[in-house]
Structure 1
Amino acid sequence: MAIFEVRGGNKLSGNITPQGAKNEALQILSAVLLTEQPVEIHNIPNIIDVNLLIELLKEMNVKVSPTGPNSYVFQADDVNVEYLQSEDYFKKSGRLRGSVMLAGPLLARFKKAYLPKPGGDKIGRRRLDTHIIGFERLGATFSYNSDTGFFALKTDELKGCYMLLDEPSVTGTANILMAAVLATGTTTIYNAACEPYIQQLCNMLIRMGAIIEGVGSNQLIITGVQKLQGTTHTMLPDMIEVGSFIGLAAMTQSDITIKNAGVASLGIIPEKFRQLGIQLNINGDDIHVPAQERYEIQTFLDGGVMTIYDNPWPGFTPDLLSIVLVTAIQAHGTVLIHQKMFESRLFFTDKLIEMGAQIILCDPHRAVVVGLERAKQLRGITMSSPDIRAGVALLIAALSASGKSTIQNIEQIDRGYENIDGRLQALGADIKRG
């Protein structure tokens, strides 16, 4: 099992560029199955989850040709649908959550698909109900195999319909959207997710010949077409990396410039870090975070304790709550972190408490952070990364701590962050992979 050895306390400086968006990549790569023509994709992050999905596509006979760093051409003109029933597919597809995104395109084009039990992070229950109910309403039927843990889906023909989603699931919206673009008739998806990732997918599909109205809203209207063509697509910068680097700069009192940050697609993210008292200077598409000795958490206008919580877009993304929590450790003031979506995502706080943080875990969804105000430094310990975002939060804590920290199970971090140790070393971090 790989580890990071971190010696904290260094002030970092320099420029860092975020990778392509992980959550967008899993949708966009799945969409290549919707056409037999070549699809060229740029700014693909070189991370475990994305590489596993590319591996799956290759096993399904999709032609994959690299065209440069982080760029590939995909052509799904000879897809082996029978591979979906193989033991090898069962094993591989269950290793990451992103494999569920293959279901919509496969149902649309080949009339059958398989959904594995969700893999990936151990952060709580991750339901497939939204996906499956959406497919049912389009005309698919499903059965569940308790031995393999797979849902088998099939259809004679997908037909457009109106549906009100029970939750604005990003992956659910994307999956249903990809099925609907080749369905007969018109599909209306209300309470759809409208994250930049969904907008990117919609715009890519429109370039491929799909007819989609309402992009950027919570109501998507899709008029099905018979066939889609190839296209070229470039991923957005990863907003979660951008937020992670802001938190890193604040905790380590570093002067860092985040280059090509995709500022126009960050939504409320910069404002939430400003609520922690962090100074951000936005210059074009770059974000400069100057070194700050002190940052003070704001209060509400009535003097109440600041609460930061996750919400569907354009609310604050749940993937950055772990970063906000760790960043608040050295702030002046108090903040309540309310993680609504996942019931296990705050459990990593026990390691932060062991490092010296003042955190009260109220319940599985809420934690109060009382800022240390730089009165004392965190101390290095040995810990394990439970999920992607908590892993990077622990890494940020370790880089700000005195002494040596060892982070185990860093495969979780590698699932979502490309060459994170190399890029942080370039800023002056003392981090070694072992």
Structure 2
Amino acid sequence: MSKYIIEGGHRLNGNIKPQGAKNEALQVISAVLLTSEPVTIHNVPNILDVKNLIDLLRAMNVKVEKIGEHSYRFQADDLDEDYISSADFVARCAGLRGSVLVVGPLLARLGQSYFAKPGGDKIGRRKVDTHISGLSKLGAMIAYNEERQAYYLVTVNGLKGCYMLLDEASVTGTANIIMAASLAEGTTTIYNAACEPYVQQLCRMLSQMGVKIEGIGSNLLRITGTDHIGGADHTILPDMIEVGSFIGMAALTQSELTIKDVSYDNLGIIPDSFRRLGIRLERRGDDIFIPAQDVYEIETNLDGSIPTIADAPWPGLTPDLLSVMLVTATQCRGSVLIHQKMFESRLFFVDRLIDMGAQIMLCDPHRAVVIGLDHKMPLRANNMHSPDIRAGIAMLIAALSAKGMSTIDNIDQIDRGYEAIDTRLSSAGACISRRE
């Protein structure tokens, strides 16, 4: 198992560029299963979750050709249906959260698919109800296989378009249903659909492949199914979560940093959410410039009460950035309530920050009050263990600002979402090394 050794207290400087978006990559790579024609995808992040998904596609006999540092060509013209029904396929899927996204395409194209209980982060329950309900409405029959601990989905006469109102605006649930509906007969209307930029990107790629999709960017989508889906050439957006992570790093280390090529128009409320913590951001073309500041003062509410930063469906704040915003707030001036609505275990990592000297009161599994130290009491170095991707990057941010040498174990979790983060941060002035 690998770990990071971090000497804190060094300021970052210069430029840093975000990787391709993890969440989009998992969706659009899964979508190649819908067609037998070649699909080329650029700006693919070199991270563990994406590597594992590509390896899963290879095991399904998808042809995968790496044509550039971050570009791949896929062709699923000879899928191995025996393997897709095997115990090994189910076991692989169970260890990879992103594998849920192959269910919709496989069901639509082959008429059957296993749906393993998802693995991945240890951040509490992650429901698959929206996926199951939506695919069922399209005509899938569903049974639970006790031996393989997976759902088995099958269609008799193919999928049929319908109207559905999702119980929650699930990103992966929406993506799965969109992909399944692309090969369904008739029109599928999805209300309360997730509309994150990554879902929009999936829709644009499918439109390029010949699927008619109306309402892209809204929570009301209409997908007209087709019996032929062609190839595509698609470029993945920069990762908005990594952009937010770099903003938090710059603030906590009081650094001057330029984040390059961020696709600013697709960041939504993220820049303004960090401004609420007192961080000055300057848009320069498609870059973000963050000047070094002596003080980062949290904005209070108009009535003087403590502000709340909470996650919400897009265009609200993504829950993946709340861990970053929480650790950033520990050295701001003022207090803030962080409300993580979606996952009930994602805030438990704050114990490690408290050990480092942060003043945080964990109210319950979903809420924590952060009392900022205003950089007057630096965080102390600590030995930590990463339970999930976002907690891992929050711990790394804390360690970059702490006095002394910190270690973070189980960094495979960080590798799942951040490409060569140690190398890229070292080039920006951080003192970080990787050890086995």
TM band (smaller chain)? over 0.9
Tell me how far apart the structure 2 counterparts of residues 16 and 160 of structure 1 sit (CA, whole Å).
Answer: 45
Tell me how far apart the structure 2 counterparts of residues 301 and 195 of structure 1 sit (CA, whole Å).
Answer: 30
Q: Deviations along 1:96-127, whole A, 9 cap, x unmatched? A: 11001001101111111111111100101001
Tell me if 1:60 matches 2:40.
no
- Structure 1 runs of 4+ off > 3 angstroms? none
The AA in structure 2 aligned to 1:103 is V
Residue 302 of structure 1: how far off its partner (Å): 1.4
Contact persistence 2:4–2:432 (CA under 8 A): yes
1:350 — aligned with what?
351
Tell me how far apart the structure 1 counterparts of residues 252 and 430 of structure 2 sit (CA, whole Å).
Answer: 13
2:116 — aligned with what?
116
Give the match's secondary structure for 1:345: coil
1:273 — aligned with what?
274
Tell me how far apart the structure 2 counterparts of residues 352 and 338 of structure 1 sit (CA, whole Å).
Answer: 17
Tell me how far apart the structure 2 counterparts of residues 426 and 255 of structure 1 sit (CA, whole Å).
Answer: 14
1:175-190 superposed matches below 5 A: 175-190=176-191
Q: Deviations along 1:33-65, whole A, 9 cap, x unmatched? A: 011000000000000000000000000010000
The AA in structure 2 aligned to 1:121 is D
**TM-score, with structure 2 as normaliser:** 0.99
Tell me if 1:255 matches 2:266.
no
Residue 415 of structure 1: how far off its partner (Å): 0.4
Tell me if 1:286 matches 2:324.
no
1:88 — aligned with what?
88
Tell me if 1:327 matches 2:328.
yes
Residue 88 of structure 1: how far off its partner (Å): 2.0
Residue 87 of structure 1: how far off its partner (Å): 2.6
Tell me how far apart the structure 2 counterparts of residues 121 and 81 of structure 1 sit (CA, whole Å).
Answer: 29
The AA in structure 2 aligned to 1:48 is L
The AA in structure 1 aligned to 2:273 is K
Residue 94 of structure 1: how far off its partner (Å): 1.2
The AA in structure 1 aligned to 2:139 is G
1:15-54 superposed matches below 5 A: 15-54=15-54
Tell me how far apart the structure 2 counterparts of residues 224 and 6 of structure 1 sit (CA, whole Å).
Answer: 51
Contact persistence 2:93–2:118 (CA under 8 A): no
Q: Deviations along 1:139-164, whole A, 9 cap, x unmatched? A: 00011112322111010210000000
1:77 — aligned with what?
77
The AA in structure 1 aligned to 2:132 is I
1:314 — aligned with what?
315
The AA in structure 1 aligned to 2:124 is G
Tell me how far apart the structure 1 counterparts of residues 290 and 428 of structure 2 sit (CA, whole Å).
Answer: 13
Tell me how far apart the structure 2 counterparts of residues 27 and 134 of structure 1 sit (CA, whole Å).
Answer: 17
1:368 — aligned with what?
369
- Unaligned stretches of 5+ residues in structure 1: none
More displaced stretch, 239-248 vs 73-82: 73-82
Tell me if 1:392 matches 2:393.
yes
Tell me how far apart the structure 2 counterparts of residues 88 and 425 of structure 1 sit (CA, whole Å).
Answer: 39
Give the match's secondary structure for 2:218: coil
Tell me how far apart the structure 2 counterparts of residues 160 and 50 of structure 1 sit (CA, whole Å).
Answer: 30
The AA in structure 2 aligned to 1:182 is L
Q: Deviations along 1:239-287, whole A, 9 cap, x unmatched? A: 0000000000000011110000110100000000000000001001000
Contact persistence 2:38–2:231 (CA under 8 A): yes
2:215 — aligned with what?
214
The AA in structure 1 aligned to 2:128 is L
Tell me how far apart the structure 1 counterparts of residues 346 and 416 of structure 2 sit (CA, whole Å).
Answer: 16
1:401 — aligned with what?
402
The AA in structure 2 aligned to 1:394 is M
1:8 — aligned with what?
8
2:231 — aligned with what?
230
Tell me how far apart the structure 1 counterparts of residues 85 and 224 of structure 2 sit (CA, whole Å).
Answer: 31
Matched length: 434
The AA in structure 2 aligned to 1:10 is H
Tell me how far apart the structure 2 counterparts of residues 191 and 336 of structure 1 sit (CA, whole Å).
Answer: 28
**TM-score, with structure 1 as normaliser:** 0.99
Tell me how far apart the structure 2 counterparts of residues 395 and 56 of structure 1 sit (CA, whole Å).
Answer: 30
Tell me how far apart the structure 2 counterparts of residues 189 and 145 of structure 1 sit (CA, whole Å).
Answer: 28
1:143 — aligned with what?
143
Tell me how far apart the structure 1 counterparts of residues 12 and 344 of structure 2 sit (CA, whole Å).
Answer: 34
Tell me how far apart the structure 2 counterparts of residues 341 and 94 of structure 1 sit (CA, whole Å).
Answer: 21
- Unaligned stretches of 5+ residues in structure 2: none
Tell me how far apart the structure 1 counterparts of residues 280 and 54 of structure 2 sit (CA, whole Å).
Answer: 39
The AA in structure 2 aligned to 1:32 is V
2:426 — aligned with what?
425
Residue 86 of structure 1: how far off its partner (Å): 1.8
Residue 85 of structure 1: how far off its partner (Å): 2.0
The AA in structure 2 aligned to 1:288 is F
Residue 224 of structure 1: how far off its partner (Å): 1.0
**Sequence identity of aligned pairs in percent?**
65
The AA in structure 1 aligned to 2:292 is A
Give the match's secondary structure for 1:331: coil
Residue 425 of structure 1: how far off its partner (Å): 0.4
Give the match's secondary structure for 2:257: strand
Tell me how far apart the structure 2 counterparts of residues 149 and 367 of structure 1 sit (CA, whole Å).
Answer: 35
Contact persistence 2:90–2:115 (CA under 8 A): no
Tell me how far apart the structure 2 counterparts of residues 29 and 336 of structure 1 sit (CA, whole Å).
Answer: 37
Q: Deviations along 1:376-413, whole A, 9 cap, x unmatched? A: 11010111001000000000000000001010000000
Tell me how far apart the structure 2 counterparts of residues 155 and 331 of structure 1 sit (CA, whole Å).
Answer: 55
The AA in structure 2 aligned to 1:311 is A
